[in-house]
Structure 1
Amino acid sequence: MQTYEVRVRNRNEQPTAVAVATLDVAEIGPWLGRQYRAVAEALAARGSAPAGPPFARYHHESEGRFRVEAGFPVAAAIEPAGGVRPSRLPGGPVVETVHAGPYDRMEPAYGALACWVHEHDGELAGAAWEVYLTSPEAQPDPGGWRTEVVQPYRIH
């Protein structure tokens, strides 16, 4: 069983370029790969580039369905075009941890962050996001994948 080190940070708001869809859990993986390529191509067509690794932010809609924002941080807000639109990752206090291994075993990372927040008299403040530090194309073995999980929170 993996042990999760929880880090506390105060993040600045980060402009992003994203694609958005509401999906069932089973649809998310295949959709993400297509969207990262589409967003990267849209940025390149604008003469821009990602300012960091890909991320996905999951807004829970209903049992098994999420509104997913997938894309990249960017240096400055973009204009919407062709399914790619501007968004932002919120600034403020967050807790973070890194999960090593397959995506379908990440739930304990979320649990570790929620537990830390509650133990420190806080509450979760909005949707978490995942930053994909390892590309499955570059590292085909899921055991070598590293994903940062970021959860905004606030103190009571």
Structure 2
Amino acid sequence: MDYDYEIEVIETEAQPVLSIREITSVNDLPEEIGDSYQAILNHMSLMGEQPSDMPFVAYYNMDMDNLDVEIGFPTSKPLAGIHDIEVSEIPAGLKAVCMYQGPYNEMEPVYEAINEWLEENGYEPTGVVYEFYYNSPEEVPESELLTKIMFLLED
């Protein structure tokens, strides 16, 4: 198949993060993301710390009414959590990554292309997918939104 997306497999070390994990609906997700990012940034600021990379949402399922998501920021080292902000990590191992530019609600073809590519190339996804957000709808038009999609793979 001919792909419109550049998909590559990388291997990474474990990445410490501060995050909030919750169950939410797709309709409530934007508000949950905003509230969680703000709470984590405020907590990091009180510790004199900054995120080490772009904010992310990890999707542990694709049940649009009961999404199991982890919302957070990578950190340069494990940092203390507080209340519902937890110390966690993006696990080490193989990942399939693809940069996507465009509206969030038009990502489905990218997911389909990645899944097809993984199957054709003999990779098995774990079912956990991370999205890293390089900008936001408040900053740029939807057509310019940049998202790195990262599928965790079985080793």
Counterparts of residues 60-71 of structure 1 (less than 5 Å): 60=61, 62=63, 64-71=65-72
Counterparts of residues 41-56 of structure 1 (less than 5 Å): 41-56=42-57
**1:145 and 2:141 correspond:** no
Report the AA paired with residue 134 of structure 1. N
The residue that corresponds to 2:6 in the other structure is: 5
SS at match of 2:115: helix
Closer/same/farther in 2, CA of residues 138 and 8 from structure 1, 3 Å limit: same
Report the AA paired with residue 152 of structure 2. P
**1:89 and 2:90 correspond:** yes
The residue that corresponds to 2:126 in the other structure is: 125
The residue that corresponds to 1:32 in the other structure is: 33
Distance in 2, matches of 1:50 and 1:58, equals 20
Q: What is the Cα deviation at residue 124 of structure 1?
A: 0.8
Percent identity (aligned): 26
Report the AA paired with residue 12 of structure 2. R
Contact 2:95–2:153 (CA under 8 A) maintained in structure 1 = yes
Structure 1: segments with no counterpart, 5+ residues: none
Q: How many residues are paired up?
A: 153
SS at match of 2:33: helix
SS at match of 2:28: helix
Structure 2: segments with no counterpart, 5+ residues: none
The residue that corresponds to 1:136 in the other structure is: 137
CA RMSD of the aligned region, Å? 1.6
Distance in 2, matches of 1:130 and 1:63, equals 16
Distance in 1, matches of 2:92 and 2:136, equals 26
The residue that corresponds to 1:104 in the other structure is: 105
Distance in 1, matches of 2:97 and 2:104, equals 16
Q: What is the Cα deviation at residue 107 of structure 1?
A: 1.2
The residue that corresponds to 2:80 in the other structure is: 79
Q: What is the Cα deviation at residue 80 of structure 1?
A: 2.0
Report the AA paired with residue 144 of structure 1. E
When normalised by structure 2's length, the TM-score is: 0.91
When normalised by structure 1's length, the TM-score is: 0.91
Q: What is the Cα deviation at residue 61 of structure 1?
A: 6.9
